[in-house]
Amino acid sequence: MKQYIIKGGTPLRGEVTIGGAKNAALGIIVAAIMANEPVVIENLPDVDDVHVLLDAIEGIGAIVERIDTHTVKINGALISNTSVDEDAIRKIRGSYYLVGALLGKYKRALVALPGGCQIGSRPIDQHIKGFEQLGAEVTIHHGKIDASAERLVGEHIYLDCPSVGATINIMMAACMAEGRTIIENPAKEPHIVDVANFLNSMGANIRGAGTDAIRIRGVESLHGSEYSIIPDQIEAGTYMLAVAATGGDVYIQNVIPKHLEAITAKLVEIGARVEEFDDCVHVSADHRLSYANVKTMPYPGFPTDMQPQMTTLLALSEGTSIVTETIFETRLKYVGELRRMGANITVEGNAAIITGVDGLTGAAVSAPDLRAGAALVMAGLAAEGFTCVDHIQYIERGYENFEEKIRRLGGNIDKIDAEDERAVRKFKMKVS
């Protein structure tokens, strides 16, 4: 098993370039199979979740041509199978988009229930409600979602909560339904807009993505397209906070600063410097930062996917902070690992009460999920001494070349085999 070994205490400095948004890529890869012509997708992040999904669509007959690391050509004309049930897709979240895409195009889908990070119960009732309102019959049996319809007809759908997954899934099915669908109370995350823009580039008719109501006029077929995925808001945010936690100074390139506003605002509030350029943010921190209260909210609020990284930063800041998680009920499980590194955090219900400490100390910790894993790496970079983070397969699901990018910023990190004593010794000699 692989793990990261980190020697902390070096401020991150220099320049890092952000890749394509993982969560947009998952929606876009699946939406691409709805066209009967080739679709070229650029700025694809080279991360495990993307590879799993590309393999899954290949498995049902889509032609997937990997043009280079960040570009893929997908042709869904010859899809022969609407049933997807591989072990790998049960581990990722984005696999549920196969239901919306196959149901929209073929009026039938049988897809293994999605997995993803264990951060809460993660129901899919809003997805199912939407499909049913469009006229599908949906059942869950033997761990699979079974959806089928004679025809799909546009409807007025009100989501009980602004679910990212349900919004994208219903949008995909509705864009090939008859007539007009309105999704009220949709999620407004940047990747909702990106998936809608991509579907429109293939001939769909979707208006209002990113606002309080999405209006979709169904079309009979979708055509080929070339599309470039937006930059990853969460990857960018993770580097912004890692820079602040290590007292560094970094230009974070290929970002959309508007998508980072909630993160930027908190950084500025606690005393870090953030300069915004057209497609870059410059983050620096040359003194100890101060406390803040943070509540996770749907976009444009503070993203739940940045909560563990923010908690980690506040664990090192002066004063008492409260971080409240309102989206996923068990998303504070990693706090125990931070405590092993000397953090002073107590959890009460869905809130972390953080009393800032002067510094963290390196320890052996375990990544419980993707974003908490990234937060532990961040903690390791800021801590005194050596930190080992295991279960890094979670981190690799969503961060491209994580250790390489950190190394280029001057961080001391390596990926090694957990059992390889020699690699540990070599790393320690190199960095001491």
Stretch that binds ligand UD1, among 115-123, 245-253, 340-348, 358-366 (CB under 6 A): 115-123
Sheet strands side by side (includes 83-84): 83-84, 108-112, 144-148, 137-141
Stretch that binds ligand UD1, among 78-86, 101-109, 125-133, 277-285 (CB under 6 A): 125-133
Residue nearest ligand UD1 (C-beta atom)? 165
Q: How far apart are CA 334 and CA 263, in angstroms?
A: 20
Q: Which of 5, 64, 111, 124 binds ligand UD1 (CB under 6 A)?
A: 124
Task: Quickly list H helices, 383-414.
Answer: 393-396, 402-408
Q: H or E segment at 381?
A: helix 370-382
Q: For residues 182 and 297, which CB has a smaller minimum distance to ligand UD1 in the complex?
A: 297
At 375, is the secondary structure helix, strand, or coil? helix
CB 244, min distance to ligand UD1, A:
21
Q: Which of 194, 232, 305, 396 binds ligand UD1 (CB under 6 A)?
A: 305
Two structure tokens written together for 181:
């669908």
Q: How far apart are CA 285 and CA 22, in angstroms?
A: 28
Q: For residues 232 and 246, which CB has a smaller minimum distance to ligand UD1 in the complex?
A: 232
Stretch that binds ligand UD1, among 38-46, 121-129, 332-340, 372-380 (CB under 6 A): 121-129
CB 221, min distance to ligand UD1, A:
26
- Decide: 201 and 59 in contact? Cβ < 8 Å: no
User: Active site residue: 117, 161, 175, 280, which one?
Assistant: 117
Stretch that binds ligand UD1, among 122-130, 148-156, 284-292, 375-383 (CB under 6 A): 122-130
Give DSSP secondary structure letters for 306-369: GHHHHHHHHHTSBSEEEEE--S-TTTTTTHHHHHHTT-EEEEETTEEEEE--S--B--EEE--S
- Decide: 192 and 215 in contact? Cβ < 8 Å: no
Q: How far apart are CA 135 and CA 152, in angstroms?
A: 5
- Decide: 97 and 27 in contact? Cβ < 8 Å: yes
180: exposed, middle or buried (Cβ count in 10 Å: 0-12, 13-18, 19+): middle
At 211, is the secondary structure helix, strand, or coil? coil
User: Which residues in 149-168 contact ligand UD1 (CB under 6 A)?
Assistant: 161, 163-166
CB 30, min distance to ligand UD1, A:
11
Give DSSP secondary structure letters for 146-159: EEE-S--B--EEE-
CB 243, min distance to ligand UD1, A:
22
Q: For residues 255 and 262, which CB has a smaller minimum distance to ligand UD1 in the complex?
A: 262
Task: Quickly list H helices, 152-280.
Answer: 164-174, 190-201, 233-246, 261-269
CB 309, min distance to ligand UD1, A:
13
Whether 388 is a known active-site residue: answer: no
Quick check: 26 binds ligand UD1 (CB under 6 A)?
A: yes
Interacting residues of 86 by C-beta distance below 8 A, sequence separation 6+? 55, 56, 59, 112
CB 139, min distance to ligand UD1, A:
16
CB 239, min distance to ligand UD1, A:
17
Count, residues near ligand UD1 per rule CB under 6 A: 21
Q: Which of 13, 51, 122, 288 binds ligand UD1 (CB under 6 A)?
A: 122
At 231, is the secondary structure helix, strand, or coil? strand
Q: Which of 14, 123, 179, 319 binds ligand UD1 (CB under 6 A)?
A: 123
Q: For residues 165 and 411, which CB has a smaller minimum distance to ligand UD1 in the complex?
A: 165
For tokens 């290590």, name the residue: 246
Q: What's the chain's length in residues?
A: 432
User: Which residues in 170-199 contact ligand UD1 (CB under 6 A)?
Assistant: 187
Binding mask 30-69 for ligand UD1 (x = CB under 6 A): ----------------------------------------
CB 102, min distance to ligand UD1, A:
17
For tokens 């199979």, name the residue: 33
User: Which residues in 330-369 contact ligand UD1 (CB under 6 A)?
Assistant: none
Q: For residues 371 and 405, which CB has a smaller minimum distance to ligand UD1 in the complex?
A: 371
Q: For residues 125 and 226, which CB has a smaller minimum distance to ligand UD1 in the complex?
A: 125
Two structure tokens written together for 57:
């669509």
Q: Which of 90, 107, 127, 144 binds ligand UD1 (CB under 6 A)?
A: 127
Two structure tokens written together for 168:
């994208």
Query: Where in the sequence numbering do the catalytic residues fall?
Result: 117
Where on the chain is the footprint of ligand UD1 (CB under 6 A)?
23, 26, 93-94, 120, 122-127, 161, 163-166, 187, 304-305, 327-328
